[in-house]
Amino acid sequence: MGVKMFTKDDIAKNPILKTYPKNEYWITAGSGLVMHGVKTHTRDIDLGCSAMLADLLIKQGAKWKLLEDGTRRLIDVAGDIEIFENWHVDSIVEIDGLSVASLESIRKQKVELNRAKDWDDIALIDEAIQKRGKS
């Protein structure tokens, strides 16, 4: 059996996201690129969230790990959703009624992560930003 892949439609219709306060989280990383149409699918849904939402989810039983920078990473939240407290974002846009990190914000994250797979995504982001500028 293959790995579950999420399309833009899968993310947009995810019932769990509708339960979170819209101004307390944002879709980011690979799932953000899917929402922007830069990629067609992703393996999981990555969210950044406020400390308030992290506290609420932990009170509701979410498992978490403390990261080196003092923020929390919530794991095993609703299956394939990973949530990172206060994961850097410069700006948020609304796509299909959901809060999504801007392409520029996702690019900045990926540069900071500096992993090989992120550089492939950065090239796709740069191409999307360039196309957007020409339209």
Number of domains in the chain: 1
Q: Is residue 13 part of a domain?
A: yes
Q: Is residue 129 part of a domain?
A: no
Per-residue pLDDT reduced to its tens digit, 1-42: 456 799 999 999 998 888 888 889 999 999 999 999 999 999
Q: Is residue 126 part of a domain?
A: no
Q: Is residue 50 part of a domain?
A: yes
Q: Is residue 135 part of a domain?
A: no
Task: Please tell me the chain's helix, strand, coil percentages from 3-state DSSP, rounded to the nearest 5.
Answer: 45, 25, 30
Per-residue pLDDT reduced to its tens digit, 38-66: 999 999 999 999 999 999 999 999 899 99
